[in-house]
Structure 1
Amino acid sequence: MKKIMSLSLAIMLLVSIIPAMPAQAATQTITYLTEAVYDSIGVYSEGYVWVKQGDTFKYLDAKGKVVIDLSNKKYVGKNEYIAEVGDFHDGLALIAVAKEATEEDFEYDPYRYYIDTKGNIALKSAQIEKKPSGSPRISPTAISGFFSPFSEGVTVTDTRPEDGNVAIIKPDGSVKWYSGSMDYYWYTQGLLCAGSYVDGELLWGYVDKTYKKVISYKYEEARPFNQNLAPVKIKGKWGFINKSGKTVIKAQFEDFGVQDKTYSYQVFNDGLATVKKNGKWGAIDKKGKTVVSFKYDNPVIFSNGLACVKGSDGKYTYIDKKGKTVIKTKYADANYFSKDGIAIVGNNGTYKLINSKGKQIGTKTWKFDGTNVSGMTPDILKYKIGNKWGIAKIG
């Protein structure tokens, strides 16, 4: 009896230390979150995505449910309409409101404010504190408006009169004024990419949140930091610097690819950056070493270990991080691989799911007129039927 109990206990212990197997890929499918009824769709950011249907903008949550409907009259005044909306960043989204055009006035000059994830108007220009601190060149009377997303707890804008003053604003409306250029991006990793005129020439550098210069204004162009590296342009070519201003990858590229151009500015994906040289795209690592040869017509952006690349015939295949073709089947439409190792691909309007070896998952196919997934959220599918878009989830 003791031997039987000991054997049973041993089996239980053995089972407990064997790692659970992941769900089989054959169970994966496409789950529709919305019907294809939208004219345009943004990207999911912080769990929300904006959609436009006719003249109406809305925000949906991760399940496709409408959580904010901007057709509500509280968002616009008389003879006004929502012209543009932004993604949520730091819990706030930027809304642009314009006046309806008249025969006398066709000028498109919207004003902007921020809403929170509950749909409340969180910050308007009128809420900016009246007696700001800081050291402006001359005393400003107001901010010019809102133009950038919130990032790292602040947004940046210029002032009126437009004479070289910059305002750094917090969500509660508190603000500090600084003497600086009106050319800037947004804060990432504690630094703001900003431009300044040096001997009549606009050059770019980086400042901290007190607008103190950290990296000198000496670049023809510059972009935000991500993963401790930032793209900068020198003599017409792009390279990369670190947060000390040291050149890590010398300027030699004609262009580079980027994810999330309006916030995190992620250039390196899966440890590699896609860059263009001699008219072709390839990929480099963080030391500047060429990992994928420069021979592709489209940016080589990796997601979960694989990148879809376009051949001279216009069809897509997949390569790994060594530049080796791992899925040779050609597709008219191909997308990033999700974290579960799944991608949706299509030919002649018929789409299927494949695994990282190129094998079809299950037997089901779907009819779409186009698809798109974001490298930031590769398990969310935007699908097109006719000229309308919907959202679905892969997995």
Structure 2
Amino acid sequence: MKKWLFVALFSFGLVAFTPAGEWSSGELIPFRQGEKWGYTDRNRRLILPLRYDEAGPFVEELAWVRVAGLYGYIDGSGYAVTPTHFTKASNFTRGRATVELNGETFAIDVAGKRLPISETPAPEVEYLSLGDIVRKAGKLGFRFTVGSTTVPAIYDEILEDYRGLLFVRQGSQWGAINRKGKVVLPVIYESIKVTAANDYSYPIVQQAGLLGYLDADGHLLVKPKYRAAEPFVGGVARVETPDGRVGYIDSTGKEYFE
């Protein structure tokens, strides 16, 4: 049976709903207005209504939602793939998500079926190094494996982000260098963090206690302005403003909350 959502128009500025069945889940972004959450397209046109207490990103065509303190999963049409009865729920990764029910933690598949404990996710991809650390007079430099580019030994710490960038530290401050040896991000930040959970994309940077994001070239994508910032997943990232507003941004830095 084809599923449709029929809802009334809101009078406070949002445009009419589009039938959710016409939309790919990859085009939907969690949107917050007041205390309720729904999903919009990238033009902030409401597609799934504001009826959740919290909503997560669509990953592998499913998203977690929270209602009355409990979590469940929906597809891109808003159809409930699982009951809303979990006390904890994660995003899907390689066809599985971790949930908690009645104090027990276990994994489910994309149909909401519990997976046997013996099933384990596929191993992480092993990334190759960009080159070798060079040490001189107590400082660190870098020699790239490909080409003749070197980074002078003037840094206290050098880390790879596995996407063609080096993160370098002088004293307590961090910056970024590309594979050509050029400083693309000044060494003025308190921290730079990446995670394998999103393939090391959109590093999170901190300055003056606030958080922002870098693009793939190591340049500022979103200047540090958030009190909290989570890694990008499914093309969006969850952030919190200094005044406590929580919502999502997309990979252009556009905010999806009011």
TM-score by length of 1: 0.33
Structure of greater Rg:
1
